[in-house]
A and B are shown apart, each in its own frame.
Chain A
Amino acid sequence: MANSLTRFWGQGSLQKHVVQTGLRGFSSQQNPEVEEEEEFRVLSLRTVKQQFQKRREVKKDPVTPPRSNRMAVDQDWTAAWPGPRSFHPASVPLPLRQGFTERGAAAPSKFANAELMKIPNFLHLTPPAIRQQCEALKKFCTPWPKGLETEAKWQRHFPVEVITTDYLQALPTIRNPEARRVTVSLKLSDLKFDAHARDKFLRLVGDRYDKDTDILTFVTDRCPLRKQNYDYALYLLTACYHESFVTEPWEATKSEADMEVYLFGRNKSKLSAEEILNWNAAEGAPKVEPSPSYGQSVEQLINEGENEYNLTKYKEEVKKMLNIASQ
């Protein structure tokens, strides 16, 4: 009754008078019955204390025991842990411990151990799992062809080497600008040249040719895609090769002052040697040419400089050419 009274009091101030009286009459009709049943209750106007409600018991689902307890000893582990996953103690039936502790204390166990969750695990790559997966992959592999076992053998048939690089990183994008780089290399001796073309080719490629190893290398990275760079490298090779066989008209105007090396064939010393050899020769008789070994020794002497070996060789050749008997 006290409750109902206080409630009506509160409402009365807000509601209209007519409604209020009507409600009062209604409540007065009801009250006698209540009083008969219940004992007298004190009217407390001020307290709004609700009756004590029993807090609802939070129903907790029973936590299932770890799965590792129910695992058979001879289970198929590759089925229990098929892919990469953070460590979970309930799935791994190993008594693992991880963590640094002071001397004498046991390391933290595998349950609620964040350290074990951090480190990348290889539980899905156990030796049986690797063997199993490799067996499945084996049918996609092909053997290395016979007859190409050593480098010397494959060099004969496949002289060109193309080096490309793939990059793999943990990023949302698979593009890496470095992957566009293509290196094409081959031995210069695998291309066929004549003397003029070889000289011109080496001038065209510049420092892409390594003199010591006789290897020509093109590194291209100016196009955005790898395919384009590969095509560009082959284009460079082709263009240089074909251009080297072209003799421009101005190339004939190369004078003796422009020569990098001394060539016996186009110099005064050849004429002098011929003159000496053809001394007093009859008219119409075949001209005697100086021997090529003599020419070589002269070239060596002038190109490499005077040293004991070159001088001795030159001396021998001169003696041979002039038919001077050695002492």
Chain B
Amino acid sequence: MLQALKTLPWTQSVRALASVATSATTAPNASSATIPAPEPDKLYSKLEIELRGVDPAVLKSYTWFATTAADHLGIEKGKCWSPRKAHHDRMTLLKSVHIYKKHRVQYEVRTHFRYMNFHKLTGSTLDTFLEYIERNLPEGVAMEASKTELQQIPEHLRQPPEEV
């Protein structure tokens, strides 16, 4: 929640940024000298979430929760899918302590995967949404969130350097 509060001042800046995007020729509206210029909000074209867990049913329930939350917050959902087979981490040992090499046992740890995609999030939306679903992550589930941020070309790379 703190994170969300921190992003609150950015909310005004998005509109300024939107106007720049629509009419690129107009300069960004200059704010008064006392107030520092609002930091433009970040833009994320894609948020890709990978879930790992031991129980596929838990992953499924969690995916349902995350997509429902995205629906309520008005976030565009992408493809949500899971591979059919789990990853098996197998270890083969001798069944007996000493000899009898023909008789072995196998222990295995299964890791089930599940993927979710969300598109077109502003920085404050992404922080809010990601923190909300991260806080409600059930036990025994690991998450990887890849964020694709959109940026403009830096000023010094727009024109070829003058002096060579």
A residues sitting closer than 8 Å to B (CB atoms) are 84, 119-120, 122, 124-125, 127, 130-131, 133-135, 137-138, 140-148, 151, 154, 157-170, 186, 190-194, 197, 234, 237-238, 241-242, 245-247
Q: Which residue of B lies closest to A156 (CB)?
A: B24
Chain A residues closer than 8 Å to B137, beta-carbon distance: 168
- Known pairs A147-B21, A148-B21, A163-B146. 6 more at Cβ < 8 A? A124-B136, A140-B127, A142-B122, A142-B124, A148-B18, A159-B153
A144-B121 contact in complex given A120-B138, A151-B45, A238-B156, C-beta closer than 8 Å: yes
Q: Would you list 11 pairs from A and B whose C-beta atoms are within 8 A, ordered by A residue?
A: A125-B136, A134-B69, A134-B132, A141-B124, A141-B128, A142-B10, A147-B22, A160-B152, A190-B153, A192-B158, A238-B156
Q: Tell me, rounded to whole Å, the shortest Cβ–Cβ distance linking B141 to chain A.
A: 8
Q: Which residue of A lies closest to B134 (CB)?
A: A168
Report which of B62, B124, B129, B147 forms a contact with A166, defined as CB distance below 8 A.
B147
Instruction: Please tell me if the beta carbons of B161 and A140 are within 8 angstroms of each other in the complex.
Output: no
Report which of B22, B65, B147 forms a contact with A146, defined as CB distance below 8 A.
B22
- Sorted nearest first, the 9 A-B pairs with minimum C-beta distance are A145-B18, A134-B72, A158-B150, A120-B138, A147-B22, A140-B4, A168-B143, A160-B151, A141-B125
B120 within 8 Å of A (CB atoms): yes
Chain A residues closer than 8 Å to B58, beta-carbon distance: 119-120
Instruction: Please tell me if the beta carbons of A138 and B73 are within 8 angstroms of each other in the complex.
Output: yes
Instruction: Please tell me if the beta carbons of A165 and B144 are within 8 angstroms of each other in the complex.
Output: yes
B residues sitting closer than 8 Å to A (CB atoms) are 4-5, 7-8, 10-11, 14-15, 17-18, 21-22, 24, 41, 43, 45, 55, 58, 61-62, 65, 68-69, 72-74, 120-122, 124-125, 127-130, 132, 134, 136-154, 156-161, 164
A168-B142 contact in complex given A130-B65, A154-B43, A161-B45, C-beta closer than 8 Å: yes
Q: Tell me, rounded to whole Å, the shortest Cβ–Cβ distance linking B91 to chain A.
A: 22
Instruction: Please tell me if the beta carbons of A192 and B140 are within 8 angstroms of each other in the complex.
Output: no
Chain B residues closer than 8 Å to A125, beta-carbon distance: 65, 136
Q: Which residue of B lies closest to A165 (CB)?
A: B146
Instruction: Please tell me if the beta carbons of B14 and A142 are within 8 angstroms of each other in the complex.
Output: yes
Report which of B132, B139, B161 forms a contact with A120, defined as CB distance below 8 A.
B139
Bound: A194/B149 CA distance, A: 29
Chain A residues closer than 8 Å to B69, beta-carbon distance: 130, 133-134
Q: Which residue of B lies closest to A157 (CB)?
A: B21
Instruction: Please tell me if the beta carbons of B73 and A161 are within 8 angstroms of each other in the complex.
Output: no
Chain B residues closer than 8 Å to A133, beta-carbon distance: 69, 132
Q: Tell me, rounded to whole Å, the shortest Cβ–Cβ distance linking A119 to chain B.
A: 7
Q: Which residue of B lies closest to A155 (CB)?
A: B150
Chain B residues closer than 8 Å to A238, beta-carbon distance: 154, 156-157
Report which of B122, B130, B151 forms a contact with A158, defined as CB distance below 8 A.
B151
A164-B147 contact in complex given A119-B55, A245-B160, C-beta closer than 8 Å: yes
Report which of A141, A148, A158 forms a contact with B152, defined as CB distance below 8 A.
A158
**Which residue, B10, B65, B154, B157, has most C-beta atoms of chain A within 10 A?**
B157
Q: Which residue of A lies closest to B121 (CB)?
A: A144
Instruction: Please tell me if the beta carbons of A168 and B18 are within 8 angstroms of each other in the complex.
Output: no
Q: Tell me, rounded to whole Å, the shortest Cβ–Cβ distance linking A150 to chain B.
A: 10
Instruction: Please tell me if the beta carbons of A157 and B152 are within 8 angstroms of each other in the complex.
Output: yes
Bound: A26/B120 CA distance, A: 102
Q: Which residue of A lies closest to B151 (CB)?
A: A160
Bound: A135/B121 CA distance, A: 18
Bound: A148/B121 CA distance, A: 11
Q: Which residue of A lies closest to B76 (CB)?
A: A144
Bound: A288/B45 CA distance, A: 54
A147-B146 contact in complex given A120-B58, A125-B65, A141-B128, C-beta closer than 8 Å: no
Instruction: Please tell me if the beta carbons of B153 and A247 are within 8 angstroms of each other in the complex.
Output: no
Instruction: Please tell me if the beta carbons of B148 and A131 are within 8 angstroms of each other in the complex.
Output: no
Instruction: Please tell me if the beta carbons of B122 and A144 are within 8 angstroms of each other in the complex.
Output: yes
Q: Tell me, rounded to whole Å, the shortest Cβ–Cβ distance linking A233 to chain B.
A: 11
Chain A residues closer than 8 Å to B41, beta-carbon distance: 142
Bound: A260/B145 CA distance, A: 44
Chain B residues closer than 8 Å to A165, beta-carbon distance: 144-147
Report which of A84, A130, A159 forms a contact with B138, defined as CB distance below 8 A.
A84
Bound: A128/B155 CA distance, A: 48
Q: Tell me, rounded to whole Å, the shortest Cβ–Cβ distance linking B131 to chain A.
A: 9
Instruction: Please tell me if the beta carbons of B128 and A140 are within 8 angstroms of each other in the complex.
Output: yes
